[in-house]
Amino acid sequence: MTGTAVESAAAQSKSQQAYTAVKARIVEGIYTPGYRLVLAKIAEDLGFSVVPVREAIRRLEAEGLVKFERNVGATVSGIDPTEYLYTMQTLSIVEGAATALSAPLIDSVAIARARAVNEEMRECLEHFDPVRFTALNQDFHSVLFEHCPNPHILDLVHRGWNRLASLRSSTFRFVPGRAQESVQEHEALLQLIESGADADTIEHAARRHRAATLDAYLATTN
């Protein structure tokens, strides 16, 4: 459904299934931030006992998608402005690095694909649909950083995106003016990569691109 890895659920451990299922519900926005994750209920929904569910929740906790309080329970991590700031800042750093490391490995086919996505985004500007726009935005950036040869960094990027995913409907809703600039910066980024710019330049551009979105958001709240 979404771009997340789909696994043949058959031979998977229930713990893993629970992890995937709950994560999907969070990312898809079915479990909204603040939502109370009652172990017994989730277990019943999925049709197995609470033990695998607990492990799944623990993993999600380590990833920062859920908050856990002893003897109280788990809730979907909120997106309070402070958290948003932290996450965006972190993402600006790791995604910038990932993009720079990835750049030399991006072939012309991938560039073309990214450009096509960006074109869709441009069209999307007319009759603005924040949800669709944000989805395309993720697609675009995925093309740029997915070739990152360092799996650790790539993992950090994915985790950052996941944390933002729960509010993806609102990212650009809150800063619609940012969307247009974003499309332009995407093209600039593509040209940098095409021209074989050095890693520092690309990293800086990618980081600034995201930091600018954060700044735009901050400007609206003040």
Partner DNA sequence: GCAATAGTTATCGTATACGATTTCGTACTC
Partner DNA sequence: GAGTACGAAATCGTATACGATAACTATTGC
Q: What is the 3-state secondary structure (H, E, C) of the chain?
A: CCCCCCCCCCCCCHHHHHHHHHHHHHHCCCCCCCCEECHHHHHHHHCCCHHHHHHHHHHHHHHCCEEEECCCEEEECCCCHHHHHHHHHHHHHHHHHHHHHHHHHCCHHHHHHHHHHHHHHHHHCCCCCHHHHHHHHHHHHHHHHCCCCCHHHHHHHHHHHHHHHCCHHHHHHHCHHHHHHHHHHHHHHHHHHHCCCCHHHHHHHHHHHHHHHHHHHHHHHC
Choose, by CB under 7 A, the member of 29, 64, 73, 78 that binds DNA.
Answer: 73
Choose, by CB under 7 A, the member of 1, 8, 70, 200 that binds DNA.
Answer: 70
- Beta carbon of residue 68, minimum distance to DNA (angstroms, whole number): 7
Of the two residues 7 and 44, which places its CB atom closer to its own copies in the complex? Answer: 7
* Partner that binds at residue 115, options its own copies, DNA, none, CB closer than 5 to 8 Å by kind: none
Does 138 sit near its own copies (CB under 8 A)?
no
Of the two residues 6 and 40, which places its CB atom closer to DNA in the complex? Answer: 40
* Partner that binds at residue 74, options its own copies, DNA, none, CB closer than 5 to 8 Å by kind: DNA
Does 71 sit near DNA (CB under 7 A)?
yes
Q: Which of residues 144-163 bind its own copies (CB under 8 A)?
A: 150-153, 156
In degrees, rounded to 5, the angle at the alpha carbon of residue 111 between the alpha carbons of residues 110 and 116 is 95
- Beta carbon of residue 19, minimum distance to DNA (angstroms, whole number): 10
Which positions touch DNA (CB under 7 A)? 13-15, 37-41, 43, 48-52, 54-55, 70-74
Which positions touch its own copies (CB under 8 A)? 13, 15-16, 51, 54-55, 58-59, 61-64, 70, 86-87, 89-90, 93-94, 97, 150-153, 156
